[in-house]
Structure 1
């Protein structure tokens, strides 16, 4: 789940620096991804399983592919892109980056207040007597549940991805400054771009190699969650986002896509994602390499949306008034939608059987949006104000300056 925010707009950007993308485009992606995540989990709840595989609650293959599209890779690509962009600009064209302490402080403010509260509330309701499943609670609070085959989907099932987000933050504060220092030794801009691009390709190739070895050499089944959901298998999405950041930092204002070219690439990316989802039920090449392929397609879609010379109807769709507010509350929606769905199911408010799926989807969406809106304004937004306690260099702000000497 992406929780990154865009870097601030410079009043006088240097020549060749990428112009700041309209924030609404990013919010639109967040909103679509959050809504798709809700739809996917309701679809998953209403799917039946047996030895022959999955039986979805809808008969239309195209609609089924849209509902079952996994967008977790979009969260990874988008988060890595936003957080890597300042490092990429500093490495390629010079400049400074925020200290690690400032970066991690802001990430903690963004992630922890809502997450910790949600984990405690949901865990307590499911463990009414102590000590309860204390190991599950410990692993969720330390973001290590992604390494537990049994408990990876306990308490807040979708938050296994936040474990990878936190790991990525730690990797980025180590690799980012290292890349900046390495690039400063290179005189040619092309060499700096090549070094950054090579690093991203290496990070993308490593999970590909692991998946190949795990599946074809070691014979590890796809239900081994630790093997295929851990960083060794899923960091390719972050690598793709880092690659996008390097690409846009290297291009600057050059080679921006004309509307026709942008829409063509957008259509190709969306068609590729739909085709990938259509083939994802049958075990085979696309099933095994679903997430690396999806990450590359999300990269293409983001590139064709952001690196443009003129806004298109796709950009206008992403900035629609109904969608960008969903992007604003997307983190809360991601956190609360599963507990809301399970509560509605427990109290009997979700109609049973495949015929009840459309109504269940509407009920869960409505309830989850209400809960997410309340969560944003009561928890997320107040917590975000804590970010003002430190300046861009990570130093405490002085809110009470000394009076001027007379």
Structure 2
């Protein structure tokens, strides 16, 4: 079973927006991964809620360790690896093959347009509903609005529990605009492509190793318990997922069209990565090795799975990718951010209102109800908040914002 975190069946497809056409490469498959990961996150948090707060005591709502390992498999590292891969691509191309990059101001503007309107709205709505009289827990509000709640042992999971991961995303954005241009400048002084690749790869490897060292010292030397959330959930411990995504971007840029995999070759590689992720979830128990190093190991396995997905020869089709490209899966991927933001408050509201069964036997029905309502809310949130906000970024680019950089590879 995986470590306890408070992050990160669908309803009918008619509730969801149509999936967009892929703009490049394997974009549709990545959209599918987002969709499946978002659904898995919702199901995991329902599982966790019933596991922890069932009136009969803390025990799994489904009496099967094999099924429990599948439901409780954590996918937050997949989001980190994908995000870092997509956002690092332009820097990797500029560092290894030359070219220009987006200015830090432009990059942060587009990231802010992408995440802040929905996030700020959700924080204010949920916080106000739980703090009806002022000043309320004003510190909780301030920390969530400044993405610093990940460093507060008491409040890290307040208001919007899963959004501790957004604190790490913001830290990654700042790290990327600080380190990316430096890497580009250093690489431009190198005469060979091999040397430029080596510098970029070494930097990614160092960024991956540092959190592993931090975890090792914290757990085995200092003896910090795994329930010390800021120690093990902060960027100093979880940056390995982003480093893996950065390394994936460097690897694929370095390879270019070389080393493309046949559809047949991707099957054992993908199956091995998925089997490893499942085994990691099944074997992970508090204080054992799999638990302590769960996230660095998971990041490597997600790296492998995404490599097997992205490096397929252009004209070859992988049979199991039909699931990733299924319209209902990519539609969930489109609204995955809204679904991620709203699913926990939706779940808690449904429980408080008595609209879902709270017994152990009622878990499957509760999961279906929460998924259906959260998908409906996520769909409305995407079209009413996310999509209009995204138009501001496009309008800015259309009115003279610099174009001499690679386009933002995220949607």
The verdict on a shared fold, with TM-score over 0.5 as the criterion, is: yes
Deviations 1:288-323 (A, max 9, x none): 000000000000000001101122012221000110
Partner of 1:358: 364
Correspondence for 1:165 among 165, 169, 173: 169
Q: CA deviation at 1:396?
A: 8.2
Question: Any residues of structure 2 matched to 1:183-332 within 5 Å, and which?
Answer: 183-309=187-313, 310-332=316-338
Q: Is the 8 A contact 1:98 1:393 kept in 2?
A: no
Structure 2 residues without counterparts, runs of 5 or longer: 1-6, 9-19, 404-411
Correspondence for 1:376 among 361, 376, 382: 382
Partner of 1:102: 106
Correspondence for 1:385 among 387, 391, 403: 391
Q: Distance in 1 between matches of 2:263 and 2:30?
A: 18
SS state at 1:45 partner: helix
Q: Higher mean Cα deviation, 386-395 or 197-206?
A: 386-395
SS state at 2:361 partner: helix
Partner of 1:150: 154
By relative contact order (CA 8 Å, sep 6+), the higher-ranking structure is: 2
Partner of 1:12: none
Q: Structure 1's 80 and 384: CA in aligned 2 closer, same or farther, altered over 3 A?
A: same
Q: Distance in 1 between matches of 2:324 and 2:394?
A: 29
RMSD, aligned CA: 2.0
Partner of 1:55: 59
Partner of 1:112: 116
Query: Size of the alignment, in residue pairs?
Result: 381
Partner of 2:15: none
Deviations 1:152-200 (A, max 9, x none): 0000000000000001000000111110110001111111001000000
Structure 1 residues without counterparts, runs of 5 or longer: 10-19, 398-406
Partner of 1:129: 133
Runs of 4+ in 1 over 6 A off after TM superposition: none
Does residue 95 of structure 2 align to residue 85 of structure 1? no
Q: Distance in 2 between matches of 1:320 and 1:365?
A: 18
Q: Is the 8 A contact 1:102 1:394 kept in 2?
A: no
Q: Distance in 1 between matches of 2:399 and 2:111?
A: 14
Q: Is the 8 A contact 1:164 1:231 kept in 2?
A: yes
Q: Structure 1's 220 and 392: CA in aligned 2 closer, same or farther, altered over 3 A?
A: farther
Q: Structure 1's 214 and 49: CA in aligned 2 closer, same or farther, altered over 3 A?
A: farther
Q: CA deviation at 1:391?
A: 2.3
Q: Is the 8 A contact 1:390 1:396 kept in 2?
A: no
Q: CA deviation at 1:369?
A: 0.2
Q: Distance in 2 between matches of 1:213 and 1:313?
A: 44
Q: Structure 1's 87 and 128: CA in aligned 2 closer, same or farther, altered over 3 A?
A: same
Q: Is the 8 A contact 2:40 2:75 kept in 1?
A: yes
